[in-house]
Structure 1
Amino acid sequence: MERIRNVIVLLRGQLWILPLVLSVLALGLAYWVLAFGPSLFEDWDDGEFWWLYGGDASSARGLLSSLLSGLMTMFSLVVSVTFVILTLAANQLGPRLIPTFMGDRQIQTVLGLFLGTILYVLVVLRSLDETLGAEGVPHAAVTIGSVLTILCLFALLFYVHKVARAIVADSIVARVADDLHNNVHDMLPDAGKSDDAVPEDIPSTAGAVSLGGSGYIQVIDYDRLVSVACRENALLQVKVRAGHFVLKGGEHVTVHRAAPLVDDAAQAIRDAFVVGEERSPAQDLEYGLRQLVEIALRALSPGINDPYTAIAVVDRLGAALEEIFQRSLLPITLRDKDGVVRVIAQRSDVQGLADAAFDPVRQAGQEIPAVLIRMADVLGQLASVLRPGEARDAVARHLGRLAETAEEARLAACDRQAVLVRIERARIATAARPKEGNIHVL
């Protein structure tokens, strides 16, 4: 399922797939209307179908030629605006957010509607002949072409509204945060207790397996690794996780068993890893966090200097960590059907996720009091979902780092005091441990 999800994620980021599908549907519609349209509207001249086009072949060719010229002009405008938006997004928000724009279903639908209508009009236009009489003109096909052109006009208006909203930073932050929320909901199970202890009696090391190629790990098929470990009676310790960049050589999977693995078993382990040219959110919890952080870092750069966008990112990062803290992280140990530990995985932990979210923003905004104050407030707001353990320790550690940053940063005395007051307030809130069952959500 993780492999399928990764393929779906990669396909969603392709700009051409949905326009291609709509174009094929438009071609099929054109051929169907040309073939069966006359039989559907045999009595069109009786006045029942007054809305149907009723001109001759020469008038139909002139109409479709004008429509085609206008459609080509509008399509060129849409493509040009799309490239402008992608350029602005890459410069202001980061080039790694381009797949977010390209994967927008509404933008893809508008492009597909224009392209499909152009192909439809071309097919109908080439079927018109000056020798056709009034009876031989495909009146239904010409009418549908006119309707599709009207739809394209409204689609152009919607597209202008869409791209105007697309260049607003808050809209992009909300879009990335929604994707992150969906990924967290899909990947992490509901909160619960699990036996995740690493066994003490680990067999001796029989060797290590390298993946044999460089790139970003997109998906690890842990079920396949468990199957291989069962077949070889081994314990596999995976030292990488989705999102890591690996070199061609290295000890990526350590094999614990009495004898070394044969080549076929080592290749089966390699086949459980999907390595690509870029990171994928299919199994990488930090993917969405890093996208939000990149927006904040761009906003805090001297060339842009937009702390309000960074503050919006901090708010969304707090919401994402709130969702993560209320769920259970993926298990480190994976067992076979007999309960024997077969794979020890490397997973993202709470501290690592909090570091990926807040450390870069804190470092980039260390001399901007508004950003530091907002980070302290967001960390304090997480108090309601903190349970004794890693989550509470991670928040406390970041509050300590935030206080140290405020002490050493070049801030005015009044600004430093304001930041420290907010940090102390957050510490008091997170230090209070609510009793189980005493939290009521209204």
Structure 2
Amino acid sequence: MFKLHLIWRRLDGKLWFRPTFWSVAAVAVALMAALANRWPLPAGLPNIGQSALEGLLTIIASSMLTVSTFSLSILVSAFASAASSATPRATRLVMADDSAQHAISAFIASFIFAMVALTALGLGYYGDTGRFVLLGFTIYVLGYLILALLRWIDTLSKLGRMSHTITTVEKAALPPLRNWHLAPALGGREDAPLEMPSGVRVHGERSGFLQYIDLAALQQQAADHEALLHVRVRPGDYVAPSSVLAVLVGPNPPDAKALQAMGQAFVVSRDRTEEQDPRFGLVILSEIAQRALSPAVNDPGTAVLVVGVLTRLLIDGTHDLAGESKPDVRYDRITVVPVDPDALLRDVFEPIARDGAHMLEVGLAVQRALALMATNTKEPLSAAARIEAERAMDHAQHGLRLERERETLSRWTLRPGA
């Protein structure tokens, strides 16, 4: 089940997958109309002429070919804009945008439907009843196209803009943060040992970013060996064959086949993904702010906007809307090392504080954000916010030139334990 889910997640994010799926469906629908040939046309229904259908389908085919080509060129420009104006790490998220993929799929599938139907009409594939059913399918396709075009117009007004890219990354970053709050150990136990435990060490087979961990498979392996498995890495970490992914502690040592199976439960690839990694979406947003603060762009307003988005994510994403809840523990034989809140905030806010150290508005935004996190989140995240506020203040004290600005910023400084 985990492998099927993983394959689906990877395919669903590809730009070609949905158009291919709906194109196959369009071919099936166009040919299915001929199944109605086995029944005579009911009395009272008009006998649709072949020329009328050919004219309608020709219009759809010719117009959708143009629209599809135009839309794909717009998407390419939007992806290039996201990579150049925001960060290359945001491109994959923009490519997976549902609105764009839905529109492209509708246009290409409609074109293929019209072409297949025209060819079948020319070959005499449809009888009287089949042509009537085909007309119904064609009217439905036209109505669907009108709605898709209206949605596409709304998408075009936003696609490629910085605000749309930031919103897309924010939407992708929120679910992993919510999952981290509900299951800090990915469904395992939180009592991971601080030091490396003694036992049989599990290693991977390749270098790259850890994307997923199949905890269900690891739970089964631990149960088969009547052992406890300590996972020592988290999705988002960069690992190599020498990295210790997990340690199996129990009376029954695993054989080489079991060790290989445990290693294969850790999915490693060249790219970092956000599904099980609550940090990656935040890091992408931080990179957008860093690009905005670069001398070539010099857009502190975007950096301040991103700081606000980061604050909203870290507060809302870790806020228990249903009241106090217990962490979800589904795998009682597995412990997982926790996310370090101090490292998380350092990776996200310190680059912004460093690159915007000479800008009072950026310093104020960072200090206000960390102050809100210190009072609206729980330990240990709130303590990490206080520590990060002190680090950000150190950058600003060295970057701001005027004493008046330094005094203004000092009034927002949070100290550890405050």
User: Aligned pair 1:126/2:119, yes or no?
Assistant: yes
User: Aligned pair 1:395/2:388, yes or no?
Assistant: no
Per the alignment, residue 43 of structure 1 pairs with 44
| Cα distance in 2 between the residues matched to 1:145 and 1:329 | 53
Q: What is the Cα deviation at residue 294 of structure 1? A: 1.9
Q: What is the Cα deviation at residue 228 of structure 1? A: 3.1
Output the TM-score relative to the length of structure 1.
0.80
Q: What is the Cα deviation at residue 397 of structure 1? A: 0.8
RMSD: 3.6
Q: 1:14 is paired with a residue of what secondary structure? A: coil
Q: What is the Cα deviation at residue 394 of structure 1? A: 0.8
Q: What is the Cα deviation at residue 362 of structure 1? A: 1.4
Q: What is the Cα deviation at residue 314 of structure 1? A: 0.7
Q: 1:128 is paired with a residue of what secondary structure? A: helix
Q: What is the Cα deviation at residue 360 of structure 1? A: 1.8
Structure 1 86/198 Cα, relative in aligned 2: closer, same or farther at 3 Å? closer
| Cα distance in 1 between the residues matched to 2:123 and 2:254 | 76
Correspondent of 1:418 among 393, 408, 412: 408
Q: 2:268 is paired with a residue of what secondary structure? A: strand
Q: Is the 8 A contact 1:88 1:167 kept in 2?
A: yes
Q: What is the Cα deviation at residue 400 of structure 1? A: 0.9
User: Aligned pair 1:86/2:79, yes or no?
Assistant: yes
What are the superposed Cα offsets for residues 191-214 of structure 1, whole Å, 9 maximum, x if unpaired?
A: 9xx9855569997x3553321212
Correspondent of 2:338 among 336, 347, 352: 347
Structure 1 133/312 Cα, relative in aligned 2: closer, same or farther at 3 Å? closer
Q: What is the Cα deviation at residue 395 of structure 1? A: 1.5
Per the alignment, residue 409 of structure 1 pairs with 399
Correspondent of 2:210 among 183, 206, 217: 217
| Cα distance in 1 between the residues matched to 2:317 and 2:244 | 30
Per the alignment, residue 34 of structure 1 pairs with 34
Structure 1: stretches of 5+ with no match in the other structure: 46-52, 337-342, 432-442
Q: What is the Cα deviation at residue 350 of structure 1? A: 1.8
| Cα distance in 1 between the residues matched to 2:59 and 2:252 | 76
Correspondent of 2:57 among 51, 64, 67: 64
Correspondent of 1:284 among 265, 277, 282: 277
Per the alignment, residue 357 of structure 2 pairs with 366
Q: What is the Cα deviation at residue 41 of structure 1? A: 5.5
Q: What is the Cα deviation at residue 371 of structure 1? A: 1.1
Structure 1 31/39 Cα, relative in aligned 2: closer, same or farther at 3 Å? farther
User: Aligned pair 1:356/2:357, yes or no?
Assistant: no
Q: What is the Cα deviation at residue 242 of structure 1? A: 0.9
Letter in 2 for 1:356: D
Report % sequence identity.
24
Per the alignment, residue 235 of structure 2 pairs with 242
Structure 1 280/153 Cα, relative in aligned 2: closer, same or farther at 3 Å? same
Structure 1 233/417 Cα, relative in aligned 2: closer, same or farther at 3 Å? same
Q: What is the Cα deviation at residue 366 of structure 1? A: 1.6
Q: 2:395 is paired with a residue of what secondary structure? A: helix
Per the alignment, residue 18 of structure 1 pairs with 18
Letter in 1 for 2:221: V
Per the alignment, residue 318 of structure 1 pairs with 311
Q: Is the 8 A contact 1:113 1:152 kept in 2?
A: yes
Structure 1 149/197 Cα, relative in aligned 2: closer, same or farther at 3 Å? closer
Q: What is the Cα deviation at residue 246 of structure 1? A: 1.4
Letter in 2 for 1:362: A
| Cα distance in 2 between the residues matched to 1:118 and 1:406 | 57
Output the TM-score relative to the length of structure 2.
0.84
Q: What is the Cα deviation at residue 134 of structure 1? A: 11
Q: 1:105-254, aligned counterparts within 5 Å?
A: 105-129=98-122, 138-142=131-135, 144-145=137-138, 148-149=141-142, 151-189=144-182, 196-197=190-191, 205-206=198-199, 208-232=201-225, 234-254=227-247
What are the superposed Cα offsets for residues 23-74 of structure 1, whole Å, 9 maximum, x if unpaired?
A: 23322221222332784665233xxxxxxx85x4345434433432222111
What are the superposed Cα offsets for residues 215-266 of structure 1, whole Å, 9 maximum, x if unpaired?
A: 2111223343344345445554433221112123343334556896531232
Q: What is the Cα deviation at residue 143 of structure 1? A: 5.8
Per the alignment, residue 290 of structure 2 pairs with 297
| Cα distance in 2 between the residues matched to 1:403 and 1:129 | 75
Q: What is the Cα deviation at residue 271 of structure 1? A: 2.4
Q: Is the 8 A contact 1:2 1:283 kept in 2?
A: no
Letter in 2 for 1:283: Q
| Cα distance in 2 between the residues matched to 1:238 and 1:269 | 11
What are the superposed Cα offsets for residues 280-303 of structure 1, whole Å, 9 maximum, x if unpaired?
A: 222211121112112212222222
| Cα distance in 1 between the residues matched to 2:106 and 2:392 | 51
* Larger of the two Rg values belongs to structure: 1
| Cα distance in 1 between the residues matched to 2:252 and 2:294 | 54
Per the alignment, residue 48 of structure 1 pairs with none
| Cα distance in 2 between the residues matched to 1:294 and 1:333 | 35
What are the superposed Cα offsets for residues 121-178 of structure 1, whole Å, 9 maximum, x if unpaired?
A: 1122113349999968924424643553464355334313202212332233233223
| Residue-pair matches, total | 410
Q: Is the 8 A contact 1:68 1:118 kept in 2?
A: yes
User: Aligned pair 1:381/2:372, yes or no?
Assistant: yes
Q: Is the 8 A contact 2:364 2:409 kept in 1?
A: yes
**Which is further off, 252-261 or 296-305?**
252-261
Structure 1 179/285 Cα, relative in aligned 2: closer, same or farther at 3 Å? same
